[in-house]
A = this chain, B = another copy of it.
C-alpha cells in the first residue's frame, strides 16, 4: 500500500466540478489498487483573490510544496479581468510554477478515433496524430527582467525581456530527448534562430544535449513554419520542444487539431519532484456550475499524475483505457456531442468512467 498526499486546487469556473470528478476516479483507483490518497484542498486564482486577497495565498503554496502531487482545475474569469496584472487569477498559476520550479510542461496531443469527426481538420490529416509538446515553463518572456514601463524621449514605452540561461535550456532539452526515447524517437526543437539571439543559444544547447542521445532524431524548425506544419502535417510530429511563449501559442493551436480540447491533460514537472497536473482547457465561466463541463481532461490529468508523479503506470493506463471505453461507448458531454447525439452531464460522464475502470 502506497500513501500519497495530493494537493487539490480547484480554482475558478468549471475548475471545482472537474477536479471533483478527478478525485472520484482517483478514490476508486486507490480502492482497486490498495493505495491511500489523502486530498488537501487549497485556494488559487480568482476564488483565492476573493477570499484571501491574493491569487496564490501562502497556505496554498505551503500545502502544494509539501504534497506529492498537485491537481489543479482552472483559473480566471471575467469577474477578475479588471484587476491589475500583478493581482490577477493567472498570476497564481505563474507563481506556483515559478516557486516550485515547474520548468517542464508536458502536453500530449492524441486523436481519439471516436472523436475525429468533431475536428475542424480533415480526417486524413488528423487520424494518426500522436505527439507530445514539451514547453519550457519558468523562463523566457514570462519571467525575464526588466518587465516594466518607462518614459523614453517623452513617451511611454513598455519592455519585456526574453532571457534563457544555458542550464535552463539544457534541462528542458534533456526532458525532451528522454521523452522521445519512450516514444517514436524524434524531437523537433522549435525556435526563431533567424531573428532571436536566445533562439540561437537554444539551438546550440539543444545540439549539445543531443550528443547524449544519438539514438534520437533531431530537427530544428522555425516557429512560423511549425505553426504551419502543425496544420499541414500534424501526424509527422513526435516530440516538440520549445520555449515558454512559443509553447503557449503552439500548444493551444495543437489543442484544436483533434476536436478534443475537453480531453487534453497536461503535467508540469520540476526539479523538486512535485508535479502539477491540470486540464489544458480554461475555466469556461459561461457553463460553470451547470454540470455540463467535460471532466475527461481533469481525469486524464490525474492519470498523468499517477504515471509521471507516482510511478503508477498500471493504474494510469487503467484510467486511460476507461476514458477510451466511455468514448467508444458513445458517452459525450456537450462540448464533444454532435448535433444528433444526446449530451451527458459531468456527473454521468464521471460515473461512466468509474464503472469502466
Using a CB–CB cutoff of 8 Å, the interface residues on chain A facing chain B are: 76, 85, 88, 90, 94, 119-122, 125, 141-142, 144, 147-149, 152-153, 155-167, 192-198, 200-202, 223-225, 227-228, 230-232, 245-246, 248-253, 255-257, 261
Contacts and interface: CB of A to CB of B under 8 A. Distances in A.
Contacts of A85: 193-194, 197, 200
A316 to B, nearest CB: 27
A81 B88 CA distance: 43
A316 B90 CA distance: 47
Contacts of A164: 157-158
A90 B195 CA distance: 8
B158 A160 contact: no
Nearest to A244: B195
B159 A94 contact: no
Nearest to A142: B195
B159 A160 contact: no
10 contacts: A85-B197, A148-B197, A153-B165, A156-B165, A157-B164, A227-B249, A228-B253, A232-B256, A249-B249, A249-B250
B231 A120 contact: yes
Contacts of A160: 161-163, 196-198
A258 to B, nearest CB: 11
Nearest to A257: B231
Contacts of A144: 159
Contacts of A120: 121-122, 125, 231-232
A101 to B, nearest CB: 16
A321 to B, nearest CB: 28
B195 A224 contact: no
Nearest to A223: B249
A122 B227 CA distance: 18
Contacts of A76: 194
A201 B158 contact: yes
7 A-B pairs closest in CB distance: A158-B201, A224-B252, A227-B253, A231-B256, A158-B198, A160-B162, A157-B165
A165 B157 CA distance: 4
Given A94-B195, A158-B164, A195-B142, A227 B250 contact: yes
A85 to B, nearest CB: 6
A160 B161 CA distance: 6
A198 B159 contact: yes
Contact of A162 (B141, B194, B249): B141
A83 to B, nearest CB: 11
Contacts of A159: 144, 161-163, 197-198
A130 to B, nearest CB: 17
A198 to B, nearest CB: 4
A148 to B, nearest CB: 6
Given A149-B201, A224-B249, 10 more contacts: A85-B194, A120-B125, A120-B231, A121-B121, A142-B195, A153-B165, A224-B248, A227-B253, A228-B252, A245-B245
